[in-house]
Structure 1
């Protein structure tokens, strides 16, 4: 079985992904004291890109035409994201904390679904993944137990559902990080491609919950992402959304906060 490599400073594991209907090793980002190996099967008709984004085609997180991938704002100024939580979850507090960490600092509020046609269907599928933005109808968001049961991982997937790609996928990322291509597993090189993004006039956030870790998809244990100019800046935290993460949500959804 393949081995994984952990960052010596923060002890986070690397991550992996694959295409439609293929069983793969899912290397979830969470403390390495837990088991890091998962098997994931992408639902029919979709693929898993960038490690944990379920898509039928690649699109930029924050340049969707006419904001069609954003959740609508209510007349009261809030953005309500209805959800249903699978009864298969025993402890729900971790997932709810991930929601609350976003809601506490933004106009986005996660609410239990009543009759809404568009909603998140949170399920303990295989791995941790989400679709990008609102896709319409029942929208699966997977948080497998026990490996995905960290509030920061939940918040990470909820930010994908709100329309955000990974921070190091930003169009201007080369100004802030160096990608060490030779250290990346060849089958996962595509996870490090830049996307055409609207960066919301916000600074690059090394502390974003959406940032890959230093050793993500490492083939031999060497770093795959090195911050610059300071190579020792911590990246890849999964404690929860950063202040800049919340700020960008407020900008994207015109919260006025």
Structure 2
């Protein structure tokens, strides 16, 4: 049995049994609504709603400069720890969400031992990623106990950690969506800044777990993000990674 398979089996045994009392619910709503609600009390201005400022990411431009997680053989091993603030059910829910990456990509989340670079999941203030993908040392990922424990939110924040940005911020977004600045809440324009992303030859994806809803940071209930091909299109409702999300991981990491 290879070490990677052993780790997968170990993590599988940690998963909380479906339907067990105390397990977090996986019922979800609009990704951006979950994140906006959970992050409402954060005083630090965030970029795109859930990223601490001072970073430049569909894949972050830095992925061409060595900030990818390293690949060993066929797998990209990403060490992680889960903070003691969580109950057993909550810890296992996060672990189960991480295991979804194992099913269709070469990403393997492994419990940290002595690795210098790793992800640290903790119940902080909101659903927030601390900095760009694979910055040296610990990368903090806040998943607030009462507000962020949904599979799509865990996947969303982990995709940031792997090097991916929001759909509405990708470099070619103007061909697919219009940003209605007149409807944006005052002071929230930074959440709609376009980024010089590497789109990996994949199409804009309204079904991506990285796609926010059409009323993201609306001041009046009217859309801030509008699909050009169909202005009535409802999006931002993904409850799990799309086929494109998975394809992008496999392209970026050459799975």
- Give your verdict on TM over 0.5: yes
Distance 1:13 1:247 in 2: 20
Deviation readout 1:164-210 (Å, 9 max, x if unpaired): 11011111101111111100012011111111111101111110100
1:28 to 29, 35, 51: 35
Corresponding residue number in structure 2 for 1:206:
206
Distance 2:39 2:96 in 1: 24
Q: TM-score, normalised by structure 1?
A: 0.81
1:76-91 → structure 2 map (5 Å cutoff): 76-90=73-87, 91=90
| Larger strand percent | 1
Distance 1:13 1:80 in 2: 27
Is 1:12 the equivalent of 2:10? no
Provide closer, same or farther for how the CA distance between residues 206 and 94 of structure 1 changes in structure 2, counting only shifts above 3 A.
same
Corresponding residue number in structure 2 for 1:20:
none
Aligned residues: 224
Cα drift, residue 240 of structure 1: 1.2
Is 1:243 the equivalent of 2:228? no
Distance 1:37 1:140 in 2: 15
Superposition RMSD in Å? 2.0
Contact 1:102 1:241 in 2 (8 A): no
Is 1:59 the equivalent of 2:75? no
Deviation readout 1:188-236 (Å, 9 max, x if unpaired): 1111111111110111111010011111101111111111211233321
Deviation readout 1:108-128 (Å, 9 max, x if unpaired): 111110111100011101010
Secondary structure of the residue aligned to 1:197 is coil
Corresponding residue number in structure 1 for 2:172:
172
1:73-222 → structure 2 map (5 Å cutoff): 73-74=71-72, 76-90=73-87, 91-130=90-129, 131-222=131-222
Q: Which has the higher contact order (CA 8 A, sep 6+)?
A: 2
| Larger helix percent | 2
Q: TM-score, normalised by structure 2?
A: 0.81
Contact 1:132 1:164 in 2 (8 A): no
